[in-house]
Structure 1
Amino acid sequence: MTLQTDRLSARRCEVTESPAPLSDYADAFEVTVDEADTRTAEEVMRTGLSRVAPSRFSALLMAHRHLLGFRLGPPSAADHVMGWRVVTSEPDQCRLEADGPVMAGTMVMRRADPVTMRLTTFVRYRQPLARVIWAFAGPIHRRAAPQLMELSATPR
C-alpha cells in the first residue's frame, strides 16, 4: 500500500524544459505512471482535469479568466484544454498556451521517461501588476499542479 501511495505522489522537480520566451516564473512537477500506460501527454492532462470536482473546475476557470486575465477558448473544445490553446500535441508532449493583457502562461506536459510524466509551467509578466497577481496566485498554483498530476497518474 505504501508503494502505491508513494507512486502516485507528485513531487516538485527541476525545470528541464527550454523556457518559454522571456518567462519570469517557471516550475515543474512530476508523477510516476505505469510503464504500460500508453496515453498521450494530452490524454494524461485531460484525464486529470476530468477528475477535478465540477465546482473546483469552475473556480479554476474563473481564476484563469478573471484573476490572471487569460483570454480562454471553450474549455471542452478539441483544440483547447481547460480553455488553454493546444499548441503542440504529440504522443510524448503537449504544450498549452493562454494569453492575456497582464500575463501569458505556458504549460508543457511531457513524458520525461517511460514511467514519469512532468508538468512544467511558465509565466511571463506583461505588466508590473502581473508580479503582484502571481504573488497571490503562485502558491495556489503550487498546490493545485501536483494535485492535478496525482489525478492524472492513472488511466482509469
Structure 2
Amino acid sequence: MIVRGVLLGLVLLTVLLLQTVVAPAMTIGGIAPDFVALTVLVLAVVEGPGSGLRYGFVGGLAVDLLAATDTIVGASALVFLLGGYAAGLTRPYIAGNPFAGAVLVAGIGTAVLVAMRVLLGFVLGVQSATPLTVLVDAALTGVYGAVLSPIAWFVLRRLLGLVSTSSG
C-alpha cells in the first residue's frame, strides 16, 4: 500500500512537471493539454472511483498551489475530485473494452473538467469567459485528452501492475 502511494506520488510529480514544462510547448490555438486531469480520469477508469477521487483531490490541490494566476485554492481540487469519482463510476460499464472506454472517458472527461473549472471560476468571480471560448477550450482539451490517453493508459496499467505483482 505504501509503495503504491509513493508510486502514484511520483506519477503526480512527473505529470506536474509535464504540465508546467512540456504542455506550454504543445499549445494549439493557445490551448495546452491538461496532463493532470488526464491522469486523474485514466487512473479512475483503471482503479475505480475511490482512487480517482483521492488522486483527483491531491492532483487538483497541487495544480491550485502551483498556479501562477489568481485562482481560488481548492477549486481544481473540487473539480478533479468530482471528475475522478465520476470517471471511476464508468468502470463497470466499459468492462468489455476498457481501453476504448478509457479513451472515451478521457476525451469527454477532460472537456467537462475544463468547462467545470471555468464555470466554478465564473461563479466564484475569479474568471470571465464567453461561452464560445469555453466551448472551444473544452473541445480542444478533450481532443488532447483522447489522443494522449493511450499513453497514460499503458503507463498507469504497467506501473500499477508492477506494484500489485510485487506486493501480492
| Structure showing the higher strand proportion among its residues | 1
Q: TM-score, normalised by structure 2?
A: 0.32
Q: TM-score, normalised by structure 1?
A: 0.34
| Structure showing the higher helix proportion among its residues | 2
